[in-house]
Amino acid sequence: MLNLNNRASHDDTSGTNATSSTLAVTDPVWKVLIYDQLGQDIISPLLKVNDLRENGVTVHMPLSSDRQPIPDVPAIYFIQPTADNIRRISEDFTKQLYESYYINFSSTVPRQLLEDLAAATIQTGAATQIAQVYDQYLNFVCLEPNLFSLQLTDSYRTLNDASASDSSIEALTDRIVSSLFSVIITMGVVPYIRAPRGNAAAQVATKLNSRIRDHVINSKSDFMGDGGLSLTRPVLVLLDRNMDLTTMLNHTWTYSTLVHDLLDMKLNRVVIFEEEGGQKKRKVFDIDVNDFFWSKNNGLPFPQVAEDVDLEINRYKADSEELTRSMGVSSLEELGDASNDFSANAKGLSTAIKRLPELTERKRVLDMHMNIATNLFKQIQARQLDQFFAAEENITKQTKTTLLESIRDPNRSTEDKLRLFIIYYLSVEDVPKDDFAEYERALTEAGCSVGALKYVKQVRAFFKMTAMSNAVAVPGSTASDFFGKIGSKFTDHLKDAGVAGHFDTLISGVKSLIPTRKDLPATRIVDAIMEGAQGGETDDYLFFDPKAARDTGKQV
């Protein structure tokens, strides 16, 4: 898209027979990028300003902003197909802001809006300036190589609120279908679709099956990109959130989930607030696709992440000391000092020039994760999250006395108390009516908002979640030795942050908190579907094959 929807291939132009038209594609074309809010959300986790510049984008601005004419350059629009966006583009035509217009919609343009756009081009005399109009099928946000988000707001409430209108539910399911369809188009696959009956997941599965089927039948291009010769196809499993509600409420112990839960993280941007000089200072960190530490550690238990921080810092120190020693300087900063004369060591200088950017980037990444880890430590200690995690790991064994003690503890937050009780309520076989009333009374006295409990009762009635998970302890756990080993190492790196003393206190409370392996409901369902197990909870699930001649969601 940033290359004006041409596929530039430097390999094709390396020979002497490259055509002039091919060379034109690979030559940089300076252009303007215009986006709406969703377009910005899609781009920001993937491309930084330097990446845009490398693709010839010199200026990038929101569609809603007041923009001055730049008449000598083409403009790339990346927007949603909405009436308001069509109106704004029409205004740009009228003002003659750009030389030409490359319009890219994030999803399929409805016919009416396409006609409105055509009418606007004729009315403003801009028809000859419209270079392209594309459906990009990109209305989803890719956060990591194996993680995407549909960027929905209040979707859970809309789908589960009894007072929600049919039209709002229909609009939401249509948007979900559109986004999932874009993911499938982007991957170039036609999946099998499985979903439970009788809920929103079934509605989405049915609509998505029809959407893919129509596209397969009507598309002139090869949908799968391999001529349809692939013998393997993925399975898309759509589940209702309520089937695994406790997972959403759990206090977790892995790095990425702690960052999401405790810090302000959106679109891979982490915001933390720290006290400096009696004032709160805002710090922003961007986790990009090249972040080696995040890629390696985001799914690991936090204590293991702390150990890896120590290992990576020591590795960085060793590499930087080796480089500075070979160049006869005391720090990496001196290597970048133009006043130093390294002419006597030209070979070493060449090596240093190659390694310095990589070491500098490693230091930046490690400093960022040290800041994030330090902030997490402080919050874990302040909210006693290690104790909540320990309780939830053995939630079905909690007694009435221990639960009430946790609820009545004045040093614990109301949100954490409510989460703990809901997890317990959804996980045990039965809670006597009198006991429930006592828990509710204790939560109210502790300042918790108990309005959610009525809804949770309904969820429990519909989904008999008598066991949140089947826990299997990790064999040969040496958690106590593990924490003792990393404590002294990581403390050294935290001294400057002023939390060294807190770390030892935290470690003493989490010595056995290496998370156990669990088969959560979603995991069990996916395993049963992939193994084709009979006589299980997935027997009644809908099954769709969009490539089949006819399909009605039959059972398999």
> Residue-wise pLDDT tens for the chain (556 aa)?
998 888 654 444 344 344 334 334 456 789 999 999 999 999 999 999 999 999 999 999 999 999 999 999 999 999 999 999 999 999 999 999 999 999 999 999 999 999 999 999 999 999 999 999 999 999 999 999 899 999 999 999 999 988 999 999 999 999 999 999 999 999 999 999 999 998 899 999 999 999 999 998 887 665 655 545 567 899 999 999 888 889 899 998 899 999 999 999 999 999 998 888 888 899 999 998 889 999 999 999 988 888 888 899 999 899 888 877 776 665 665 555 544 545 545 555 666 677 788 888 999 999 999 999 989 988 998 999 989 998 998 899 999 999 999 999 999 999 999 999 999 999 998 899 999 999 999 999 999 999 999 899 888 887 664 334 444 444 434 444 434 444 444 555 555 444 444 444 444 444 445 566 677 888 899 999 999 878 778 889 999 999 887 665 565 4
The confidence score (pLDDT) of residue 76 equals 97
Q: List Cβ neighbours of 127 (8 Å cut-off, separation of 6 or more).
A: 121
The confidence score (pLDDT) of residue 345 equals 52
Q: What is the pLDDT of residues 404-420, one digit of tens each?
A: 999 999 999 999 999 99
Q: How many CB atoms lie under 10 A from the CB of residue 402?
A: 11
Classify burial at 523, counting beta carbons within 10 Å of its beta carbon; exposed 0-12, middle 13-18, buried 19 or more: middle
Dihedral sign for Cα 184, 187, 191, 194, please. negative
The confidence score (pLDDT) of residue 336 equals 54
The confidence score (pLDDT) of residue 162 equals 87
What ranges in 328-432 are assigned the alpha helix state H?
332-335, 346-382, 385-393, 400-408, 414-427
Q: What gap in Å lies between CA 520 and CA 471, rounded to an integer?
A: 9
Q: What gap in Å lies between CA 257 and CA 245, rounded to an integer?
A: 15
Q: Position of tokens 């956060």?
A: 143
Identity of residue 331: S
Q: What gap in Å lies between CA 525 and CA 530, rounded to an integer?
A: 9
Contact 59, 34 (CB under 8 A): no
Contact 155, 126 (CB under 8 A): no
Q: Position of tokens 């034109």?
A: 24
The confidence score (pLDDT) of residue 219 equals 77
The CA-atom distances, in angstroms, between 108 and each of 30, 63, 80, 181, 359 are 27, 19, 9, 10, 44
Q: Calculate helix-pair angle for 302-327, 255-262, nearest 10 degrees.
A: 100
Strands of 98-105's sheet in order across: 57-62, 31-35, 70-79, 98-105, 130-135
Closest CA to 415 of 404, 407, 405, 403: 407
Give phi and psi for 399, each to the nearest 5.
-95, 165
Q: What gap in Å lies between CA 261 and CA 256, rounded to an integer?
A: 9
The CA-atom distances, in angstroms, between 355 and each of 352, 409, 434, 488 are 5, 53, 68, 31
What tokens appear for 270 in the block?
């982490």
The confidence score (pLDDT) of residue 303 equals 86
Q: What gap in Å lies between CA 341 and CA 349, rounded to an integer?
A: 10
Q: Identify the structural domains of the chain with CATH numbers, from first to last.
A: 11-139 (3.40.50.2060), 253-381 (3.90.830.10)
What tokens appear for 60 in the block?
């990038």
Q: How many CB atoms lie under 10 A from the CB of residue 230?
A: 12
Q: List Cβ neighbours of 106 (8 Å cut-off, separation of 6 or more).
A: 38, 39, 42, 78, 79, 80, 81, 136, 137, 138, 139, 182
Contact 483, 509 (CB under 8 A): no
Provide the Cα torsion 436, 442, 447, 453; round to 10°: 0
**3-class SS at 380?**
helix
The maximal CA–CA distance of the chain, rounded, in angstroms, is: 85
The confidence score (pLDDT) of residue 285 equals 96
The confidence score (pLDDT) of residue 251 equals 93
